[in-house]
Structure 1
Amino acid sequence: MRNHKWLLEASQIVLQYFRWLFLLIFCIILYAKFIEPNWIEIKTLQLTLPHLPAEFNGYRIAQISDIHRDRWMTVPRLRRIVHLVNEQHPDLVAITGDLVTRNLPQLIPSLKPALEQLTPRDRTVAVLGNHDHENDTQAIIRTLKQSGVFDLNNHIYTLKRDNATLYIAGVDDVGMGKARLDLVLQQLPPQGAAILLAHEPDFANTSAATGKFDLQLSGHSHGGQIRLPFLRPLILPPWGEKYYAGEYQIGKMLLYTNRGLGMTGLHLRLFARPEITIITLASPRLSN
């Protein structure tokens, strides 16, 4: 009788435990589906670039990445992102790839009404990501140009302040075999500060080895998208496994990997909030 009573009490405790566990998992899923994906972080940081002219001290770059226009990333959501970027009054907007989720070419034209509302002081520039190349790539490039966005794939864009210059370079998607760093290096003058946009962050090992870039801006990994606190994400994409989120020093080059704004797969985010990065550049001549 006593054993029967003990087993009954133990089973009730176990049942209660599983009820609380189920409730916890249910709440985490609700948070990861409805709260965190819409909880955009405006991440601000100051980066000192070794070759930055004093004339560009305080220059503000807004980086956005991995928009992933799809049925979740609706036009109203995209317009909210544009509004948040414009509120930061950037000098330059840099988009580091994956504007549209793969196999959704019908959604490409809907980028234009939002992107053309970006209002940086100088220009909006963009490179493509792997998902963009799994769509109608030329349609995306046309839409970018129609939106006033400079196509930076394997090109450079030159910024001027008085007699000083800052070069913004970009490579097409690395994972899809479209990057032509050799063409970019041919366009870069031998001297001067240069920033590279590359969708995949792990390309930084290659770009840093050239000694030509002070900073690389990347995305691609979504910061792991679903992860546990203080732990490395369990799932990361190729070319986004080493430098999956935040700031890194690779040789003499800085790398910043943005966590992106959209999602793929389960469309959940956990401990990897969507991000708009506001980078203020500092010249070593004025920061000492």
Structure 2
Amino acid sequence: MIKTIIYLLLILVVLGEVYTCILIYRFTEKKIAVYAYLLLLAVIIVSIISYFKSFDRSAGQTAESMHVTALLLLFILPKLLISVPLFFEDIIRFFYWGYTKLFLAKSVTLLRSGTLLKIILPASLLLMASIIYGIVVGKYNFQVRKETIVFKDLPESFDGLKVLQISDLHVGSWDNKDAIEKGIKMINQQDYDVLLFTGDFVNTLASEADPWIRILQKIKTPKYGKFAVLGNHDYGEYVKWNSAAEKEANFVQIKNNITTSGFQLLLNENVVLKTETDSIYLLGVENWGLNFKKAGDLKKTSLNVPTDAFKIVMTHDPSHWNAEIVNHPQKYQLTLSGHTHGMQFGFKIPKVMEWSPATYVYPEWGGLYNKGHQYIYVNRGFGFHAYSGRVGIWPEITLLELKKSK
């Protein structure tokens, strides 16, 4: 199935280039414009192939590799937007031509729809501009998203508790100190009682954090503290290691760097947040994903947690919620996750809808969801990964206020 989709996409991309050349000639009426475009395309393809052939798997994902991926998307996505509607239009034209050949005295030429061209050409240019904006500006366009969640069983003295969540820092992707300082300042401007970081501190290597630890230490510590869990990228799974010992040393250093940055790292364990009269439990699960590393142990994390206690679960991958948490005999009132990044691509119509292709992979991909009286909030990520940009799905700082129903 996956191979079929890949082959179909390749065909559509090639068709997109063919259509692009035809359209360039149609609007310029100069072959030299087509040749110039083909030369540019050849240079880009050769550069990308050359880069990935020499890609160092031991270095993992780097800013350079993400820029190359962004360049690839910049050329592929607008072409898909051109090729898909024109391809289907050509299918219709072909069948109409065949019909006229068979049943009419003479064939009729069906011209391409001018209206369609007037729609897809500006749309493809807008998409290209959006990708460029996402690479240059969007990846650091930090947004504060606020939600209020009401619970029947929230202890009285925790009514109004403000939880600030960040996720998916991916510090190895950062390339703009001033922008990150701005993001940290936005965090510190919020009024919060506890700060929770839900995993993916690095892309792969512990050394990625070295330039950023001092900046992360500037995040203010609220009265209940700052806590963190690990994400799938924090285990060093995505590079080639010379030995198991080298991989383990990297893992140990990543955990040390998280701690040095000012977070209490929870490794399948829980802590109690207390007032003078009440307490709630914070559970930090190691990464557990349907399609990723399963280091999380909910049973171990829940040791000594009373069944009737109010619980907040930190687990990086939202697939864990449906797979194990939401139907667990022990009720977990609130789960916080990240991981999806909203695929760093999508759009939002305020108060109407928000869409990302992530929705076809994760039922809970971004924002607040509930089943009965259990909730999950999926943070869209503070950083970025895979490609150096964000289109429509901006980096997020989440502020949740927990309220007790009256």
Q: TM-score range by the shorter chain?
A: 0.7 to 0.9
State the Cα distance separating 1:281 from its structure 2 match: 0.9
Match of 1:157 among 256, 264, 271: 271
Match of 2:333 among 214, 239, 242: 214
Partners of 2:122 and 2:334 in 1: CA distance: 47
Using a 3 Å threshold, how does the CA distance of structure 1 residues 254 and 227 change in structure 2: closer, same or farther?
Answer: same
State the Cα distance separating 1:109 from its structure 2 match: 3.2
Partners of 1:251 and 1:168 in 2: CA distance: 21
State the Cα distance separating 1:171 from its structure 2 match: 0.4
SS of structure 2 residue aligned to 1:176: strand
Task: Determine if contact 2:229/2:285 at 8 Å carries over to the other structure.
Answer: yes
Corresponding position of 2:217: 116
Match of 1:226 among 345, 357, 362: 345
State the Cα distance separating 1:264 from its structure 2 match: 1.3
Q: Does 2:299 align with 1:182? A: yes
Corresponding position of 1:202: 319
Computed over aligned residues only, the root mean square deviation of the Cα atoms, in angstroms, reads 2.5
State the Cα distance separating 1:141 from its structure 2 match: 1.3
TM-score using structure 1 length: 0.85
Number of paired residues?
Answer: 272
Partners of 1:190 and 1:152 in 2: CA distance: 20
State the Cα distance separating 1:75 from its structure 2 match: 4.4
Corresponding position of 1:4: none
Partners of 1:183 and 1:166 in 2: CA distance: 18
Corresponding position of 1:173: 287
Partners of 1:73 and 1:251 in 2: CA distance: 42
Task: Determine if contact 1:65/1:261 at 8 Å carries over to the other structure.
Answer: yes
Using a 3 Å threshold, how does the CA distance of structure 1 residues 132 and 74 change in structure 2: closer, same or farther?
Answer: farther
Q: Does 2:402 align with 1:281? A: yes
Structure 1 residues without counterparts, runs of 5 or longer: 1-9
Task: Determine if contact 2:200/2:230 at 8 Å carries over to the other structure.
Answer: yes
Which structure shows the higher strand fraction?
A: 1
SS of structure 2 residue aligned to 1:132: helix
State the Cα distance separating 1:172 from its structure 2 match: 0.2
State the Cα distance separating 1:106 from its structure 2 match: 1.6
CA deviation profile, 1:176-232 (whole Å, cap 9, x unmatched): 111010101223123221100000012112111124211000000011211255575
Partners of 1:115 and 1:228 in 2: CA distance: 29
Match of 2:387 among 247, 266, 277: 266
Corresponding position of 2:44: none
SS of structure 2 residue aligned to 1:187: coil
Partners of 1:248 and 1:158 in 2: CA distance: 25
Partners of 1:161 and 1:73 in 2: CA distance: 41
Partners of 2:26 and 2:177 in 1: CA distance: 51
Q: Does 2:215 align with 1:96? A: no
Using a 3 Å threshold, how does the CA distance of structure 1 residues 266 and 60 change in structure 2: closer, same or farther?
Answer: same
Task: Determine if contact 1:159/1:168 at 8 Å carries over to the other structure.
Answer: yes
SS of structure 1 residue aligned to 2:182: helix
SS of structure 2 residue aligned to 1:265: coil
Partners of 1:30 and 1:235 in 2: CA distance: 21
State the Cα distance separating 1:235 from its structure 2 match: 5.1
Using a 3 Å threshold, how does the CA distance of structure 1 residues 235 and 255 change in structure 2: closer, same or farther?
Answer: closer
Using a 3 Å threshold, how does the CA distance of structure 1 residues 209 and 123 change in structure 2: closer, same or farther?
Answer: same
Structure 2 residues without counterparts, runs of 5 or longer: 1-24, 29-113, 238-249
SS of structure 1 residue aligned to 2:188: helix
- Percent of aligned pairs with the same residue? 26
Letter matched to residue 300 of structure 2? L
SS of structure 1 residue aligned to 2:325: helix
Partners of 1:12 and 1:223 in 2: CA distance: 37
State the Cα distance separating 1:22 from its structure 2 match: 6.1
Q: Does 2:267 align with 1:144? A: no
CA deviation profile, 1:96-143 (whole Å, cap 9, x unmatched): 0011112x3321333421232222222000001011112722112112
Letter matched to residue 227 of structure 2? V
State the Cα distance separating 1:80 from its structure 2 match: 2.6
Which structure shows the higher helix fraction?
A: 2
